[in-house]
Structure 1
Amino acid sequence: MQADLRRHIGQARAIDPKMAEASIAEAALLPVRDFHARGQAISAAAAQKPDDPIILDILASNLAASGYLRDAVETASRAVTLDPLSPKIRSTYITLLTYAGSFDAAKRELRKAEKLWPGTASVADAQFRFHYRYGDPKIARPLFEDRANVGGRGPRLIMATREDPSPIRVQELLNFVRERLRNMENPSAGIGFAILAFGQFGQPEDVISTLLSWPKTEDVAVISEVLFRPEFTATRRDKRFMMIAKRAGLLELWQKSNEWPDFCSEPGQTYDCRAEAAKLG
């Protein structure tokens, strides 16, 4: 598959050596931990085509995964302005508003999308993403059942625990998550769910210890976007978060670009990101 993509990129470059879409394709082939090179490639494509909503949509998602939620939301908003009739692009905007903690704005945009494209897959996805973690789990449940083929005990436990966040129910969920992570044949497939559950239900120590000891640093990079969501504030305010960022490849991006993520300047931040990064080399 990668060989085919490289061949197509070569063919595109032969026609137009500066094709922005080829830069986007090249970014997808980069190692997952190379946030710096990927960001440069996508940003260069966006600079070439600043009014291309699809490229801006890709840029917004990459900014979010790199810790730049404010820029991500602004970029996604511009993409919606350029293509207001795309449910996919508006879904990205709603999702990024949600993950940036702008819940009221996300609700407003979700209501607009529900009126414009009722029943579409993109709108259903945005509805589920919002209500599953932050909105009404009773709304999320039927959306999940419509899209679930088999299994799904984990998401169902999340929704049940959000409906009844009693200590007993929370502990039941956490026990399930820890046991599942220990016994999965392919743990890489379960780390994202586990980290999200630990973050959502107030277990920053589990988040930190899991990510610092996880054997595959590529897995840490893959789930980087979740670490900048509101429920991981306590995790980010622990100095060890910078060690996690280094394992993911994010620290290299921030140091090379000298563009530090949003949380470094947020009220309540407990340490100097640059100083801690310098200690880690």
Structure 2
Amino acid sequence: MRHTALTARTVLSGQYPDWCMHRRRLLLAGGGLAALAGCSGQSGDDGNGEEENGDEEIDPTYPAGFDENGVTDADEALSGHETAIADRSVEGQTTIELTIPAEDDGEDRIQQLSLMTQADGTGTEFSRIELTESIAETYRSGDGTVYTRIDDGENVQYEAEEIETPEAVSLGTFGPALAAADLALDDVSDDDPRRLTYSGSGVLDEDTTFGDVEDVETRIVVDEEGAIHSFGVSYTVPDGADVEASFEFTYDDVTVDEPDWLDEARGK
């Protein structure tokens, strides 16, 4: 599997490495059941192994695509996430790291791509893609006007339209990993809505954006409404790059500030 460095120029020209695909936008760009008991009363063992004077255990409400045993439908789970956050302000942080084995006795190479996105729910959005050798930032105002700044380390240029972002940073790229992992429900939080934490591993045994994948480990935190709060996945790719990806989302109270280069971009 051939790998090339990611730069803003490759993003604009569409010349992605083999592990990347095109995507026009990305904004909204892993053990057993933990019982959740009520906290309003005291509970204790009456000596016969039975609880007394306590609230009944409360089963969580499982979001679309999930149940007490893990993911029932990965596509439904990811679609439920998009639906749950559609009208909310959100900030997301995505990091994809590839460790590429050395061909001879040299050191392994590491390539990293990170994407930060913000949306205030009213149409104002900001994204920052940090690639191997450059940085690309896009600002979309509430009226839909888009400005993009590209810094390749030697030159800075501005574009009047949004750049494409690699498909590798899409949650959908990791749907197969979510489906393949044998997940278990590790924890249910006291939040409202409550958050469910699943983790597990599995064998994917199929060709992905990153090559032929075998072993997969995942951990995901999702709330009862279906919004994903974090998702981590690692791939073992035989004779190729080991892949680690993480997604972190925060919701509500997210504001999008104008970047300090916006006046200069408007003047171009």
Q: Normalization by structure 1: what TM-score?
A: 0.20
Point out the structure with the larger helix share. 1
Point out the structure with the larger strand share. 2
Higher RCO (Cα < 8 Å, 6 or more apart): 2
Q: Is the radius of gyration larger for structure 1 or structure 2?
A: 2
Q: Normalization by structure 2: what TM-score?
A: 0.20
